[in-house]
Amino acid sequence: MPQTLLQKTWTAHTVRRLPNGQTQVFVGLHLIHEVTSPQAFDMLRARGWSVKFPERTIATVDHIVPTRDQRRPFGDLMAEDMLAALERNCRAAGIRLLDLSSGSQGIVHVIGPELGLTQPGMTIACGDSHTSTHGAFGALAFGIGTSQVRDVLASQCLAMEPLKVRRIDVRGRLGPGVYAKDVILEIIRRLGVNGGVGYAYEYAGEAIERMSMDERMTVCNMSIEGGARVGYVNPDDTTFDYLRGRQCAPQGEAFERAVAWWRTMRSDPGAAYEDEVAIDAGAIRPTVTWGINPGQSVYVDERLPKPSDAAPADRAALDEALEFMGWHAGDPISGTRIDVAFVGSCTNARLSDLREAARVVRGHRVAPHVRALVVPGSQAVRMAAEREGLDRVFRDAGFDWRGAGCSMCLAMNQDRLEGREICASSSNRNFKGRQGSPTGRTLLMSPAMVAAAAVAGEVVDVRAFSRHDE
């Protein structure tokens, strides 16, 4: 019987059916970081358990690292404590830690793929909701909480309930100036921020197949913003070409054997889905969020919604968002003055994201009233960008060029909004307070759109921006 990738991966990793009806699932790759793991190690110690498969866990530090001055000990003592705890725990358990001196440090969802740790057909868990990113490789990857981090450390397993699969067919091709970020924002706007609860999203169709791995990661990354804990793309030659030669990918003949297995780990033609949705790629335009959840977005040439036009059940949410943001219903989003421009995060801080932003910025200056920063997703991205001279392009334009980390996506470090600042951001969440100021405001968009906004000093359509320039 034809099966989906999810079913195949689930079956291959099932240890047993638990008496309560949950499934015990083996976790092939466990990624940890400094925020959600220290309490798990404490729980483990309190119960006298050890880490069963230390070689299947990889650690890095990303959320709390300063991006400006990364010398140890950090000026921020709490950040220093958190990293020191991670170092102690990893050393004691024999877990590999990719720290700031490794050359491989970075946001956990950037470095897993970059090192070739993330592979098709795997189960991948991490105490971080954006673990769905790794689904771009055809892995079954999902975020977990700290008690579950404890479970994985202790047993390399999780107790889970099966997921349904919704196939999202993105048909046709994207227009110029329209990116993977716009695709996922479109999906979330259409299906809702909780439309994916209980589902894994399988992204398919010509637009997805034509995407690079970086772009597929952007789409899968934000699955959770649509309520789906898991999002994946069936692996293909683009996937295998990306993995070939990566440090932790199989090498030589083993790589060919791996490809042979990976080719079997995809949804079969005729597989049954619990739901199917089609989206016309050609109709998607550059998208900007205007509200306080990632589903509240408009195309850059659209106006803000009017609560009076909405269904009665939706009005309170629209009113709340408009009030928090300080907008007037029906106003255009284009022309909204910004204070901060942030290119970074596990959603959009890979080399191709930086290239697209640099292409827009080249030869321009950041508007005088805008504070702009580029935070590469990893040390490797930073070095590759510097080899291409992208750092120079950004610095010349007036951007800060920083060290790798989560930075202003969630402001657990020094990078944050102040007061009512408005930030054009390539990150993934526009929740109230997300970027560090309880009253700060976030507009999510593609890195190219952030770059254009930085230069213009306001929200602009990157398509018109580029044309105007040439």
Helix (H/G/I), strand (E/B), else coil: 314: helix
Q: Is 122 in the site for other proteins (CB under 8 A)?
A: yes
Question: Using CB under 8 A as the criterion, what x/- string covers residues 88-117 for binding other proteins?
Answer: ------------------------------
Q: Is 145 in the site for other proteins (CB under 8 A)?
A: yes
- How far apart CA 322 and CA 312 sit, in angstroms, is 16
Q: Which of residues 301-320 bind other proteins (CB under 8 A)?
A: 317, 320
Neighbours of 112 (CB within 10 A): 28
Question: Using CB under 8 A as the criterion, what x/- string covers residues 65-84 for binding other proteins?
Answer: -------------xx-xx--
* Cβ closest to other proteins, residue 254 vs residue 278: 254
- Binding-site member from 90, 412, 453, 455 for other proteins (CB under 8 A): 412
- How far apart CA 179 and CA 357 sit, in angstroms, is 12
- Put the strands of the sheet holding 164-171 in their side by side order: 230-233, 199-204, 164-171, 275-280
* Cβ closest to other proteins, residue 75 vs residue 282: 75
Q: Which of residues 327-356 bind other proteins (CB under 8 A)?
A: none
Question: Cα-Cα-Cα-Cα dihedral of 456, 460, 464, 465, to 10°?
Answer: 20
- How far apart CA 220 and CA 181 sit, in angstroms, is 10
Rounded to whole angstroms, what are the CA distances from 62 to 17, 127, 225?
Answer: 36, 13, 20
Select the span of 168-176, 213-221, 276-284, 405-413 touching other proteins (CB under 8 A): 405-413
Helices (H), ranges, 76-131: 77-93, 108-114
- How far apart CA 134 and CA 117 sit, in angstroms, is 10
- Binding-site member from 93, 159, 329, 383 for other proteins (CB under 8 A): 159
Question: Using CB under 8 A as the criterion, what x/- string covers residues 198-217 for binding other proteins?
Answer: x-------------------
Cα angle value 64/65/70 (rounded, 5°):
155
Q: Is 20 in the site for other proteins (CB under 8 A)?
A: yes
Residue 352 one-letter amino acid = S
Tell me the β-bridge partners of 455: none
* Cβ closest to other proteins, residue 3 vs residue 39: 39
- Binding-site member from 70, 102, 146, 466 for other proteins (CB under 8 A): 146
Say if CB 354 and CB 343 are below 8 A apart.
yes
Say if CB 298 and CB 287 are below 8 A apart.
yes
* Cβ closest to other proteins, residue 77 vs residue 270: 77
Residue-level length of the chain? 470
Rounded to whole angstroms, what are the CA distances from 166 to 58, 160, 181, 204?
Answer: 30, 19, 19, 10
- How far apart CA 36 and CA 154 sit, in angstroms, is 15
The minimum distance between CB 145 and other proteins, in angstroms, equals: 3
Neighbours of 466 (CB within 10 A): 15
Please work out the total of residues on this chain that contact other proteins, with binding judged by CB under 8 A.
79
Q: Is 155 in the site for other proteins (CB under 8 A)?
A: yes
Q: Is 48 in the site for other proteins (CB under 8 A)?
A: no
- How far apart CA 315 and CA 103 sit, in angstroms, is 49
- Binding-site member from 193, 310, 329, 384 for other proteins (CB under 8 A): 193
Residue 42 DSSP class: H
- Binding-site member from 429, 448, 450, 451 for other proteins (CB under 8 A): 429
Select the span of 191-199, 215-223, 332-340, 374-382 touching other proteins (CB under 8 A): 191-199
Q: Is 257 in the site for other proteins (CB under 8 A)?
A: yes
Q: Is 376 in the site for other proteins (CB under 8 A)?
A: no
* Cβ closest to other proteins, residue 121 vs residue 205: 121
Helix (H/G/I), strand (E/B), else coil: 409: helix
Q: Is 158 in the site for other proteins (CB under 8 A)?
A: yes
Q: Is 453 in the site for other proteins (CB under 8 A)?
A: no
Select the span of 11-19, 275-283, 342-350, 380-388 touching other proteins (CB under 8 A): 11-19
Q: Is 194 in the site for other proteins (CB under 8 A)?
A: yes
